[in-house]
Structure 1
Amino acid sequence: MRKTVLSLILLASFCSLQAQKKNTATIAAAEPLKAEALQNLQANYDLYKKNALQIWDYAEMGYKEVKSAALHQQTLTDNGFTVQAGVAGIPTAFVASYGSGKPVIAILAEYDALPGLAQKAVPEKAPIEGKNAGHACGHHLFGTASVAAGIAIKKLIEEKKIQGTVRVYGCPAEEGGSGKVYMVREGLFNDVDVVLHWHPDNENKVTMTSALANKSAKFRFHGIAAHAAASPERGRSALDAVEAMDNMVNMMREHVPQETRIHYVITNGGKAPNVVPDYAEVYYYVRHPRKDDVKAIFDRVVKAANGAAMGTETTMDYEIIGGTHDLLLNQTLAEVMQHNLDKIGGVSYTPEEKQFAQKIQSSFGYQVPAIETAGAVKPLRVEMNAGGGSTDVGDVSYAVPTVGMGAATWVPGTPAHSWQAVACGGTEIGTKGMMVAAKTLALTAIDLYTNPALIKDATEEFKKAKGTYKYEALLGNRKPALNYRD
């Protein structure tokens, strides 16, 4: 019996040793490929900077990113990719592919801007006259880095140094338009093995924090117009209905789970005070860490809208605009990406950039991190239900094992969706962070191509985390909301 146990121990030790040797050999084999990818990316720094700043200047909003999408597609086509444009019924969505066979590694690219945030690349608030939108979430950098990483991988496939397929997914309208949801629903990720993505940030880190599920809609009320002074009794105010709905929803906040976020804007409240509005519209977001809770809370918001219509003798209809899942995390992939982000490191500032950063930070009005933190990489840490935002990457993560990261494209302490983020994104500070992301994405992809066991482990973890859940888009079967920004 003792001999048998000893034999098993020796066998296990031998197998473990062999596995370690194999893993060491795999890592060693990948290093020259990584060095080549990094060299390729650095050699094209000026091109990618130019592209990013051009898209920063375009600042096109969701589903209107015609020039931005075209620039990315042209860059990919020039580098040998086959581009399928207008996918999933969205004119500005595309899938660019190179290579053949497995594994299929996808890299997500975004490029939509936000309304009302046009800003010059200076450290004080300076709106750009005649412009509305600005890249306050850094998607001009997001898309460009993803394209750059895809091209670096394509070079290695072309040289037959790795085998498989690389794809860059052009994903429009992340800001409220749920562009990726339609692409998932269309089955465009069905044969993908792993999805990589990133996002501009004020620090360097791998994403192991989930996002909030989100469902949004525009509620439209129809009343009867009348002279507000001469014959108000003849009118039925659609604006009254909007305000009644808002009041009911605001009272409902006391009676929903505390993690819930509900916010709205009145997008049409009438045209003149002396006319009873016969039409009014309010745009709502409902968020929660769990998708099932989002659906239940949203249904209660609809009941408030129906009640408001009944009480004001108006009629109501609503249009689902967007709906996104929470983010399904994958620690296997996160550890691979963390290793590569640690290898690349953060961003260093020149003396002039430090002056810019200090001036930006002085505009915040709150305590900020040291500027030097832009050069650091945060350790990997899992924080479930800690995410404050929503992303349509969540839907992708329920279709394919997915991992992402943030890179310091903004001065430490800079919030997203701010004029300060727009300003940083139009400078070398933004470009440097963008290249940190491009390099990390490329190196992570190389590890996956050269070590199939990583994909196997990530897939097993994904299946376990997803369980028996069958994907269903929160926005239903509606067509893409191509005019949701109108």
Structure 2
Amino acid sequence: MKLIITCIFSLTIGLSCLGQSKKAINALKTETATTIQSNYDAYNEMAMTIWDYAELGFKEEKSSTLLQTTLKNNGFTVESGVAGMPTAFVATYGSGLPVIGILAEYDALPGLSQDNSPIKTPNANSINGHACGHHLFGTGSVAAGIAVKELLESGKLKGTIKVFGCPAEEGGSGKVYMVREGLFNNVDAVLHWHPSDDNLVTNSSSLANISAKFRFYGKASHAAGSPEKGRSALDAVEAMNNMVNMMREHVPQETRIHYVITNGGKAPNVVPEFAEVYYYARHPEKTEVVSTFERIKKAAEGAALGTETTMDYEIIGGVHDLLINKTLAENMQNNLEKVGGVTYTDTEIIFAQKMQSTFTNKLDAINSVEIVKPLSTAKTLGSTDVGDVSYAIPTVGLRAATWVAGTSAHSWQAVASGGTEIGIKGMMVASKTLAFTAIDLFTNPELIQKAKEEFIQSKGDYKYKSLLGDRAPALNYRD
């Protein structure tokens, strides 16, 4: 898709005054907002195309190709298949310093099929769904990158913009491999965003996370005719789960442990010779999550011993907590407030009210305007591989209101909202905010320096070490 960018304003300011003239910088931001908004239809189409694709982690071939092609058509040089991941990419435009990065995601979630209606209605064309809004995430970030590129191309900014195509955020830890590969080493600051039900700059950390699949191997036999000859791998999974569930009483209260049985056998009258359970362990502190995971491993070993089965496990994902950079957060907050929130049509308000009637908790009817919330340190209970990026380079992000108020991530309601212009409007808020923040970084060297000083102080003596060790990307973790 070739996006035709039409500049409404013609600025004749020189680069030498960019760092001094607030009026000139505001003019650049106005131009950029107009540039992004003028391509509303094109970005709407792109996001909805990726929403339709709904490809799972490390399988986002069509989604990644669409984003890469758009960037190439707009003058970026694109390196594909980076860090051992076929759907990962780095798109670059410009030269010299500063180097500003923007993160893009595009993977969907399994088993969350939904159309774009306010009642639960599976999508007949897909069993997956964008229940975390990454179709918007990828498109909005690409839109911001292209808008900044236009300013670089015209000489109104100086430096380098990079868009990082990051696959498999949902459990695959794609960014961790990119950090490990050193792809962020020469970047001065990294910007990101995420779909949500409000407009808010991220100013609190996230949970570190380790995930793994535990596989048990037993002996098959007839469950009625010769049960004594069998050794049930499913019994081992259930024994492990029971021990881990008892362990919950004896872990720090911030700990989160979840699991699903991904394979429990095929027929009740056959003793299962193979069973698998997929675990997540989370905690605000990376050291604590490592300790919790070691205890989960002991439960698996004990379950195998007690059921006379054997066990192995595969680490699937592992991410750090998020290192907050208040310097960048305050700047992004100012830019989010400059962009402003979203105004909804009567039709969108009716859609939202119908959807809110499906929520467990009763909510007030959606307002006609989604406002921008003040900078907050409220706890974030999710996990993200952006955490690893934040330990490599100063990083900042925001949430944008792409869902009906009260919507939870990883729900059918999130899929439905993201398939409407409610989602697109929020995406445009995020894209403009990213671009505005990038403009400040390009034109204010002191902002970058202050962010780097805070980054060094916050990181302290900690030497980054991937929680994944040296394992290769788990390209088939969704199989």
Task: Give TM-score, length-normalised by structure 2.
Answer: 0.95
Which residue number in structure 1 is paired with residue 163 of structure 2? 168
Is 1:112 equivalent to 2:112 in the alignment?
Answer: no
Which residue number in structure 1 is paired with residue 10 of structure 2? none
After TM superposition, the runs of 4+ consecutive aligned structure 1 residues lying more than 3 A away are 22-26
Alignment match of 1:427 (pick from 417, 420, 443): 420
Structure 1 letter corresponding to 2:449: K
CA distance in 2: counterparts of 1:369 and 1:183, whole angstroms = 42
3-state secondary structure, aligned to 1:475: coil
Is 1:448 equivalent to 2:441 in the alignment?
Answer: yes
CA distance in 2: counterparts of 1:263 and 1:374, whole angstroms = 36
CA distance in 1: counterparts of 2:200 and 2:365, whole angstroms = 16
User: Structure 2 stretches of 5 or more lacking a match?
Assistant: 1-16
CA distance in 1: counterparts of 2:19 and 2:286, whole angstroms = 41
CA distance in 2: counterparts of 1:118 and 1:66, whole angstroms = 19
Matches within 5 A, 1:407-426: 407-426=400-419
Matches within 5 A, 1:180-259: 180-259=175-254
CA distance in 2: counterparts of 1:23 and 1:372, whole angstroms = 38
Matches within 5 A, 1:58-69: 58-69=53-64
CA distance in 1: counterparts of 2:124 and 2:38, whole angstroms = 35
Q: Is the 8 A contact 2:344 2:368 kept in 1?
A: no
Which residue number in structure 1 is paired with residue 11 of structure 2? none
Is 1:45 equivalent to 2:16 in the alignment?
Answer: no
3-state secondary structure, aligned to 1:364: coil
Is 1:328 equivalent to 2:328 in the alignment?
Answer: no
Which residue number in structure 1 is paired with residue 284 of structure 2? 289
Q: CA RMSD in A?
A: 1.2
In the TM superposition, residue 216 of structure 1 has moved relative to its aligned partner by 0.3
What CA deviation, in whole Å up to 9, does each residue of 1:19-49 have, x standing for no partner?
xxx9993422311211111111011111100
Which residue number in structure 1 is paired with residue 9 of structure 2? none
Structure 1 letter corresponding to 2:117: V
CA distance in 2: counterparts of 1:130 and 1:462, whole angstroms = 45
3-state secondary structure, aligned to 2:126: coil
CA distance in 2: counterparts of 1:308 and 1:118, whole angstroms = 35
Which residue number in structure 2 is paired with residue 7 of structure 1? none
Alignment match of 1:438 (pick from 431, 438, 442): 431
In the TM superposition, residue 188 of structure 1 has moved relative to its aligned partner by 0.3
Which residue number in structure 2 is paired with residue 399 of structure 1? 392
Q: Is the 8 A contact 2:19 2:443 kept in 1?
A: no
Matches within 5 A, 1:54-93: 54-93=49-88
Q: Is the 8 A contact 2:282 2:289 kept in 1?
A: yes
CA distance in 2: counterparts of 1:396 and 1:130, whole angstroms = 35
What CA deviation, in whole Å up to 9, does each residue of 1:2-29 have, x standing for no partner?
xxxxxxxxxxxxxxxxxxxx99934223
Q: Is the 8 A contact 1:204 1:374 kept in 2?
A: no
What CA deviation, in whole Å up to 9, does each residue of 1:395-421 have, x standing for no partner?
000000000000100011111111111
Which residue number in structure 2 is paired with residue 149 of structure 1? 144
Is 1:479 equivalent to 2:443 in the alignment?
Answer: no
In the TM superposition, residue 278 of structure 1 has moved relative to its aligned partner by 0.6
What CA deviation, in whole Å up to 9, does each residue of 1:450-486 have, x standing for no partner?
0010000000000000011111111111000000000
Q: Is the 8 A contact 2:345 2:368 kept in 1?
A: no
3-state secondary structure, aligned to 2:343: coil
CA distance in 2: counterparts of 1:424 and 1:391, whole angstroms = 22
In the TM superposition, residue 375 of structure 1 has moved relative to its aligned partner by 1.9
CA distance in 2: counterparts of 1:350 and 1:28, whole angstroms = 33
CA distance in 1: counterparts of 2:172 and 2:305, whole angstroms = 30
Matches within 5 A, 1:300-319: 300-319=295-314
Which residue number in structure 2 is paired with residue 19 of structure 1? none
Structure 2 letter corresponding to 1:421: A
Which residue number in structure 2 is paired with residue 15 of structure 1? none
What CA deviation, in whole Å up to 9, does each residue of 1:210-262 have, x standing for no partner?
11000000000001111111111111110000000000000000110000000
Q: Is the 8 A contact 2:18 2:25 kept in 1?
A: no
In the TM superposition, residue 364 of structure 1 has moved relative to its aligned partner by 0.3
Percent identity (aligned):
69
Q: Paired residues, what number?
A: 463
CA distance in 1: counterparts of 2:441 and 2:364, whole angstroms = 34
In the TM superposition, residue 374 of structure 1 has moved relative to its aligned partner by 5.0
Q: Is the 8 A contact 1:85 1:94 kept in 2?
A: yes
In the TM superposition, residue 311 of structure 1 has moved relative to its aligned partner by 0.5
Change (3 A) 1:373 1:234: farther
Greater helix proportion? 1
In the TM superposition, residue 380 of structure 1 has moved relative to its aligned partner by 0.7
Farther off after superposition, 373-382 or 235-244: 373-382
Is 1:389 equivalent to 2:382 in the alignment?
Answer: yes
In the TM superposition, residue 365 of structure 1 has moved relative to its aligned partner by 2.6
Is 1:125 equivalent to 2:120 in the alignment?
Answer: yes
In the TM superposition, residue 79 of structure 1 has moved relative to its aligned partner by 0.2
CA distance in 2: counterparts of 1:473 and 1:342, whole angstroms = 35
Q: Is the 8 A contact 1:306 1:316 kept in 2?
A: yes
CA distance in 2: counterparts of 1:151 and 1:361, whole angstroms = 35
Change (3 A) 1:369 1:387: farther
CA distance in 2: counterparts of 1:24 and 1:480, whole angstroms = 42
Change (3 A) 1:24 1:367: farther
In the TM superposition, residue 370 of structure 1 has moved relative to its aligned partner by 4.6
Which residue number in structure 1 is paired with residue 14 of structure 2? none
Farther off after superposition, 400-409 or 368-377: 368-377
Structure 2 letter corresponding to 1:425: G
CA distance in 2: counterparts of 1:367 and 1:394, whole angstroms = 33
Structure 2 letter corresponding to 1:85: S
Which residue number in structure 2 is paired with residue 372 of structure 1? 367
Change (3 A) 1:177 1:278: same
Q: Is the 8 A contact 1:137 1:416 kept in 2?
A: yes
Which residue number in structure 2 is paired with residue 17 of structure 1? none
